[in-house]
Amino acid sequence: MGLAAAALSWRPHEFWSATPSEFWAAIEGYERFHAVPDE
């Protein structure tokens, strides 16, 4: 839950109501958004 709270700014009820697929999709989106572009 710490990753959801820190990186995604999710509240506990948002974390606990998300499915594993939704959680990992959100993490992947976060990683893509914060990735450093290749030069």
Give the Cβ contact number of residue 17 at 10 Å: 10
What would the pLDDT profile of 11-33 be if each residue is shown by its tens digit? 999 999 999 999 999 999 999 99
Helix (H) / strand (E) element for 10: namely none
Counting Cα atoms < 13 Å in the Cβ hemisphere of 20 gives 0
pLDDT of residue 1: 85
Cα separations in angstroms, 3 against 9, 10, 39? 9, 9, 29
pLDDT of residue 37: 87
Which residue did the predictor score with more confidence, 37 or 24? 24
